[in-house]
Amino acid sequence: MGLFEQLKKGLAKTKNGFIDKVTELVTGYKKLEPEFYDDLEAVLIQADVGVHTAMDLVEKIRCKAEKDKLETPDKVKELLKEEIAKILGEDTVPLNIPSESPAVYLVVGVNGVGKTTTIGKLAYKLKLEGKKILLVAGDTFRAAAIDQLEIWANRVGVEMLKHQEGSDPAAVAYDGIQAAKARCTDVVIIDTAGRLHNKSNLMEEIKKVRRVIERELPGAPHEVLLVLDATTGQNAIAQANLFKEATGVTSIAITKLDGTAKGGVIIGICSQLDIPVKFIGIGEKIDDLKEFEPHDFVEALFA
C-alpha cells in the first residue's frame, strides 16, 4: 500500500464523520440559506475542528459564496477544502537538525497519548536514515514507562540510558547528554513524565530537565515534541496550550488518527496554535509514524 493509500485508510473514520456529513448537507439543501450555514458550523464543531475555527471557516465560505454570487451549495465542499488547505499550509516542516551532533529531542505529553510508542517509531524512522540513536528514560515516575521504552529500544535496535525508578529526571537527562557526546551519537530522544499535566510540579520538573540540557549542550533541545492523542479532540488543544507555556513546545505529533472520527482536531490545532504539526500516527505498525504533509492530508480527507 502506497503512502497516500495508507493515509486515506488512516483517515477513513474522520472522513466518514466529517466530510461525508458535509456531502450529505450539501445534497440536502437546494439553496444557500442561513440554516445551511448553521448546520455546516455544527458539522465542523462535531468534527472537533473547534468552535472558533468552525465559525471562522463558515464565515469565510459565506463571504466567498456571496462574492461569487453562488445560490446553491454545490461548490461549498470545494470552498471548504480550499479554506482548510490554507489553514494547514503547503509545506512539510522537517525536524530541526543542528549542524553538529548530537541533535536532542525532548518529548512531552500526558500519559496515555502514545508518547513512548511515538518515541520508538521516531527512533526507527531516524535509524533507517542512518542515524545513531540514544533513547533516554526520563520518565522515572513510573517503572512501566522505563520498561516500555526499553522494549522499544530493543525492538528498534538502538541504545538506551536509564536510571532506577524515582531517580531525578534531570540527572538522567544529564547522563544522557554526556553519554551521547562520548558515543558520538547523532540523535538523543529524551522521554519525560506525563502525569498530572495540569499540576505545576510536573511542569517545573520538565523545566529543570530543559535547563540541564541547555547548560550541557548550548542550543539544545533542538525540538520539544509534544505528543497529542487525536481521540481526545479539543482536549488536545487544551493540553497543547499548557505544555507550550511551560516547556516551549516547538513541534507536535498527533497519534491514533486511524482510531477516531476526530481527526478534524488537526485543523483546530493548526488554526489556533502557532506550532507546526510534524508527525501523525495512522496505525499500529512500527513504520506508521508519518511526516505530516498538509497537501496529502487534505487530498486524502476529501478523496
pLDDT in tens, 186-212: 999 999 998 655 566 888 889 999 999
- Local confidence band at 260 (pLDDT 50, 70, 90 cut-offs): confident
Q: What is the structure's pLDDT at 32?
A: 93
**98 prior amide bond cis, ω within 30:** no
pLDDT in tens, 83-131: 999 999 988 899 999 999 999 999 999 988 999 999 999 999 999 999 9
- Local confidence band at 283 (pLDDT 50, 70, 90 cut-offs): confident
Q: What is the structure's pLDDT at 164?
A: 93
Rounded CA Rg of the chain = 21
Is residue 178 pLDDT above 90, yes or no? yes
User: How far apart (Å, rounded) are the C-alpha atoms in residues 227 and 110?
Assistant: 8
Structural domains present in the chain: 3-88 (1.20.120.140), 103-302 (3.40.50.300)
Is residue 169 pLDDT above 90, yes or no? yes
Inter-residue contact 72 to 32 (CB < 8 Å)? yes
Is residue 138 pLDDT above 70, yes or no? yes
Inter-residue contact 247 to 236 (CB < 8 Å)? no
* Strand order through the sheet with 133-136: 159-161, 133-136, 187-190, 103-108, 223-229, 251-255, 277-281, 289-291
- Local confidence band at 2 (pLDDT 50, 70, 90 cut-offs): confident
If you average pLDDT over residues 22-26, what whole number do you get?
A: 94
**102 prior amide bond cis, ω within 30:** yes
Q: What is the structure's pLDDT at 199?
A: 62
Query: In 3D, which of 281, 295, 294 has the Cα closest to residue 6?
Result: 281
Q: What is the structure's pLDDT at 196?
A: 54
CB atoms within 10 A of CB 211: 12
CB atoms within 10 A of CB 156: 21
pLDDT in tens, 26-67: 999 999 999 999 999 999 999 899 999 999 999 999 999 999
User: How far apart (Å, rounded) are the C-alpha atoms in residues 262 and 255?
Assistant: 11
Q: Which residues pair with 133 in a beta bridge?
A: 187
User: How far apart are the two ends of the chain, measured CA to CA in Å?
Assistant: 16
Q: Which residue has the cell 464523520?
A: 17
CA angle 68, 74, 80 (to 5 degrees): 75
**94 prior amide bond cis, ω within 30:** no
Instruction: Identify each DSSP E strand in 119-200 by its residue range.
Output: 133-136, 159-161, 187-190
Is residue 152 pLDDT above 80, yes or no? yes
CA distances to 48, 52, 110, 255 from 17, rounded to whole Å, are: 10, 19, 26, 18
Helix (H, G, I), strand (E, B) or coil at 251: strand
Is residue 142 pLDDT above 90, yes or no? no
Q: What is the structure's pLDDT at 259?
A: 84
User: How far apart (Å, rounded) are the C-alpha atoms in residues 283 and 129?
Assistant: 21
